[in-house]
Amino acid sequence: MSLISWGMYPKIKNQKFSLRDRASLSEYMSNTNECIPFGNGRSYGDSAINEHIVYVKPYNNFLNFDENTGILTCQAGVLLSEILDSFVPRGWFLKVTPGTKLITVGGAIASDVHGKNHHIEGCFSECVEEFSIMLEDGTIKAVKKGDGLFLATCGGMGLTGVILEAKVSLKKINSKFINQTTIKTKNLKETFEAFENNKQLPYSVAWIDCLAKDENIGKCLLMVGDFADDGNLEYKSKKKLSIPFNFPSFALNTLSVKAFNWLYYAKAPDGISKQKVDIDTFFYPLDAIGNWNRIYGKNGFTQYQFILPKENSFEGLQEILGEISASGKGSFLAVLKLYGKENKNYLSFPIEGYSLALDFKIEDGLFELLDKLDEIVVKYSGRIYLTKDVRVSKETFEQGYPQIDKFREFRKENNMDSKFNSLQSKRVEI
């Protein structure tokens, strides 16, 4: 059985080593030329794919929780969903969470994930107090905030070693509900204004209709909100539906995406409306459908996520959305988000500005379109998110990440580049 990524592309044969204890990992590493850590397989592209994989998910014990500080110590294979199952009923939530809770703590660090509150709380690394990591020679290092190894590992895509344990600080909540406000906008200008007017609220995210044309480009539903304060913490993960098999590849086309978007936008009332929604609905809408990646068919799909600096965001997004809408290649999911200040980690994705994430099924002509979008991203000094990527060129990638040489040197100095590699790291030569 080969491990594949969430995008189901590319598929290559691989051998996995399941991480259960430190001693056998160290032995495995000394007998293996090259490997890459793999969490729960929710990275879209090839960042955790190689012929030899260290499967970290079985390494998933909780080790300690400090009720006073809210700091949880756990092994790297623990899923964020497991943290929520245990701690939401006790009044704690993740300070930073991405749009799926089905990722491991190790993966969250390696991707330095961000959430709907990046403009306030920053990336996942902000709430990591320290972690331990096994390096290429089998030694284990305890890493504190600010260490070189911290800066390289958070966002470092597993290319510095195998993260073993981490101390993650949680935040206090007093409800499993979010008071959500939904704002319907007509175009990108209105969308930007709505974001700016609501940026004092911790959580915000917009769904863009990326097939809208001309004056409607950038029309969206913006959801903003914060936790309620009603003392109801009876949280239980919802039972999920599951897509049982890969949909035939013709199932998803411009028409079906149009229909979906039409239904989705038609459902929301005009202007501003308020709802009270639970954690799963607000943060993890897609987790409710298991294996939703199968709707894109067996050839797989990719997510294209880029970010543009704030001063270029409006112009850049206009141009990119125009290009996509003209291509007719649709995306159910087009998520626009506002970001706050960037951090010091060498390869973390966020910079202050706006990012857009789009899903595309893999088909003829797609990579050509994405190459075109890359040019626009580079033109506006933006960058591509490695966790979602499966095809970006070395040149495009390099232009977005000014600290890339620092990262490369760090890997070389510490012999990491000979041991930890993925298909992605080879493609973009990091």
Partner 1 sequence: MSYVLIIGAKSDIAKEVARTYAKNGYNLYLAARESSSLEDLKQDIEVRSGVHVELKEFDITAYETHENFYSELGEKPLGAIVVSGYMVEQKLAQKDWNESLQTINVNYTGAVSILNIIANDFERERRGFIVGVSSVAGDRGRKANYIYGSSKAAFTTYLGGLRNRLYESGVNVLTVKPGFVNTKMTENLDLPEKLTAEPQDVANDIYNAQQKGRNVLYTKSIWVLVMLIIKHIPEFMFKKMSI
User: Dihedrals φ, ψ of 223, to 5°?
Assistant: -110, 125
For the chain, the 3-state helix, strand and coil shares in percent, each to the nearest 5, are 35, 25, 40
C-alpha span between 65 and 234 (Å, rounded): 20
Bridge partner residues of 355 (DSSP): 307, 337
CB-nearer residue toward partner 1: 83 or 143:
83
CB-nearer residue toward partner 1: 28 or 367:
28
CB-nearer residue toward partner 1: 1 or 255:
1
Contact 290, 243 (CB under 8 A): yes
Taking the complex as a whole, the smallest distance from the CB of residue 27 to partner 1 amounts, in Å, to 15
Question: Which 8-state DSSP code applies to residue 129?
Answer: E
CB-nearer residue toward partner 1: 65 or 260:
65
Q: Which of 12, 20, 24, 147 binds partner 1 (CB under 8 A)?
A: 20
C-alpha span between 207 and 92 (Å, rounded): 28
Taking the complex as a whole, the smallest distance from the CB of residue 15 to partner 1 amounts, in Å, to 10
- 18 scored as a contact of partner 1 (CB under 8 A): yes
Contact 387, 325 (CB under 8 A): no
Q: Kindly state the number of chain residues that form the binding site for partner 1, as judged by CB under 8 A.
A: 14
**Tokens 């704690």 belong to residue:** 92
CB-nearer residue toward partner 1: 294 or 361:
294
Contact 331, 376 (CB under 8 A): no
- Which token pair is 376? 């626009």
CB-nearer residue toward partner 1: 2 or 30:
2
Taking the complex as a whole, the smallest distance from the CB of residue 419 to partner 1 amounts, in Å, to 22
CB-nearer residue toward partner 1: 60 or 348:
60
CB-nearer residue toward partner 1: 239 or 267:
239
**Tokens 């897509």 belong to residue:** 243
Taking the complex as a whole, the smallest distance from the CB of residue 390 to partner 1 amounts, in Å, to 20
Instruction: Kindly report the number of other CB atoms within 10 A of residue 34's CB atom.
Output: 15
- 255 scored as a contact of partner 1 (CB under 8 A): no
Q: Kind of pairing, strands 36-38 and 52-55?
A: parallel
CB-nearer residue toward partner 1: 8 or 423:
8
Taking the complex as a whole, the smallest distance from the CB of residue 6 to partner 1 amounts, in Å, to 15
Sketch the per residue contact string, 377 through 396, with partner 1: x for CB under 8 A, - otherwise: --------------------
C-alpha span between 242 and 291 (Å, rounded): 6
Instruction: Kindly report the number of other CB atoms within 10 A of residue 2's CB atom.
Output: 12
- 181 scored as a contact of partner 1 (CB under 8 A): no
Contact 123, 348 (CB under 8 A): yes
Taking the complex as a whole, the smallest distance from the CB of residue 37 to partner 1 amounts, in Å, to 17
84-103 binders of partner 1 (CB under 8 A): 85-86
C-alpha span between 347 and 143 (Å, rounded): 17
Taking the complex as a whole, the smallest distance from the CB of residue 393 to partner 1 amounts, in Å, to 32
CB-nearer residue toward partner 1: 296 or 339:
296
- 12 scored as a contact of partner 1 (CB under 8 A): no
23-82 binders of partner 1 (CB under 8 A): 58, 60-65, 72, 82
Contact 96, 126 (CB under 8 A): yes
Taking the complex as a whole, the smallest distance from the CB of residue 430 to partner 1 amounts, in Å, to 30
The three-class DSSP label of residue 371 is helix
C-alpha span between 299 and 26 (Å, rounded): 36
Contact 380, 311 (CB under 8 A): no
User: Dihedrals φ, ψ of 355, to 5°?
Assistant: -120, 155
156-175 binders of partner 1 (CB under 8 A): none
Taking the complex as a whole, the smallest distance from the CB of residue 240 to partner 1 amounts, in Å, to 11
CB-nearer residue toward partner 1: 64 or 415:
64
Taking the complex as a whole, the smallest distance from the CB of residue 224 to partner 1 amounts, in Å, to 32
Taking the complex as a whole, the smallest distance from the CB of residue 65 to partner 1 amounts, in Å, to 5
- CA 296: distance to chain centroid? 19
User: Dihedrals φ, ψ of 205, to 5°?
Assistant: -160, 145
**Residues forming the site for partner 1 (CB under 8 A):** 1, 18, 20, 58, 60-65, 72, 82, 85-86
